[in-house]
Amino acid sequence: MENITAVLDYEKLISQVSGQEKEVYKALKAVNIIVAGRTGVGKSTLINAVFGEEVAKAGTGKPVTQDATWYQAKAGILRILDTKGLEAKEFAETLATLKAQIESARAASDVNEQLHVAWLCIDEPSTRVQDAEIDVIRLLNEHQIPAIVVLTKHGMNPGFSDQVSEIFKQEGALVTGVIPVAAISTNPAFPVRGLNELVSQTLTVLPDGAKNAFRAAQKVNARLKESAAEKLVYKASTAAAGVAVSPVPFSDAIGIIPIQVGMTLAISRVFGVQLEENSLMPLATGLFSSIGLSIVGRWAAGNLIKLIPGGGTILGGTVSASIAGGLTYSLGMTYVKFLSSFYERQGRPPEVSEVTELFPAYFKGNRVEADQPA
């Protein structure tokens, strides 16, 4: 029984969790977005509305030149190239910087370095499309980067979107969409709108490898987060099943529990649960303390079979792999459903204290069963 007890020795195992979380998170790849527009157009407001954090402050800003900066956030799955402005006197330098960044990304062998989509922001109240903005679209067209025009501060000139589409068409600059967006509400007459449309349009043009990262990074649509989180569950379930094939009775627990805890932490980040270093242990113990005994009991059955002489090792490994993969899948998918349900009801992710208080009961009443590992 000593080895079974060790399964719940979180202090001993927590040091392994960080690496497992990063490993699971790799399933999301990365999404890289260019955000361009004149100074004061509302780029930062738009970014914060879509991704739910002040990227420039929370991420690591790496200035390329005085005209552009890379920001990385959301645990590395989101990178944004922010141009500092398209004003006339600096535009030549800004365009040259943007071109250099595009060409550098094109030359990179790593798919995670590619530039996937661009948002060109034009403020709707200006009622004008500048030559600089047309030149940016032409540059993006030249390098086959999908371009979406975002009309910020929507509400002042509702007919402007049709005019913008026609102007770019006449100039031979191709855009994949013109989306009017009000990222914040200034008064009841001008509510937040257009964010869902921007997210949907962006997903249609992203390559498959970047879609899940974008689904996870955005905060506009909880159902899209659910889809991205499911990918993490599949990866973790497969990893847990692989570890469980170990022929040594009970030795697999040391590898399986960190995978399961790492998976739940990665899913938490997808849904925006605020995780600080001092909250990792409370979240892990809160998730597993109420459900751990049932998990250990079923997991132990496979390990006990390994003790049978002869074929017990092979049979036990097969049973343990099935149980480990299935239980990891069950835990992960139930946690995804819990977070998605909470997000849709409350319009925000839960606090760690709310997860530890509410999830054990939710798990018992809404558990997602899995006959086979994912």
Q: Which amino acid is at 52?
A: G
Give the pLDDT confidence score for residue 302 in this predicted structure. Answer: 45
Strand partners, 34: 81, 118
Enumerate the H helices of the chain as residue ranges: 2-7, 10-13, 17-25, 43-51, 55-58, 91-107, 131-142, 160-170, 195-205, 208-217, 222-243, 253-270, 280-289, 292-305, 312-346, 352-366
How sure is the predictor about 115, in pLDDT bands with cuts at 50, 70 and 90?
very high
Top mean-pLDDT range of 78-82, 92-96, 197-201, 268-272:
197-201
Question: Token digits for 137?
Answer: 């679209």
pLDDT tens digits, residue range 22-63?
Answer: 888 888 889 999 999 988 888 988 998 999 876 655 555 666
CB atoms within 10 A of CB 351: 12
More confident residue, 349 or 203: 203
What share of the chain has pLDDT > 70, as a percent? 75
Q: Which amino acid is at 153?
A: K
More confident residue, 112 or 332: 332
Give the pLDDT confidence score for residue 211 in this predicted structure. Answer: 94
pLDDT tops 50 at residue 304:
no
What share of the chain has pLDDT > 90, as a percent? 32
Classify residue 29 as left (phi > 0), alpha (psi -120 to 50) or beta.
left
Top mean-pLDDT range of 240-249, 299-308, 350-359:
350-359
Strand partners, 251: none
pLDDT tops 90 at residue 239:
no
How sure is the predictor about 150, in pLDDT bands with cuts at 50, 70 and 90?
very high
| Residue corresponding to tokens 């009443």 | 365
Least confident range of 73-77, 99-103, 114-118: 73-77
What mean pLDDT, rounded, does the chain reach?
A: 79
Pairing of strands 117-123, 78-83: unpaired
Question: Token digits for 219?
Answer: 């905060």
CB atoms within 10 A of CB 11: 8
pLDDT tops 80 at residue 280:
no
Top mean-pLDDT range of 191-195, 250-254, 303-307, 315-319:
191-195
pLDDT tops 50 at residue 247:
no
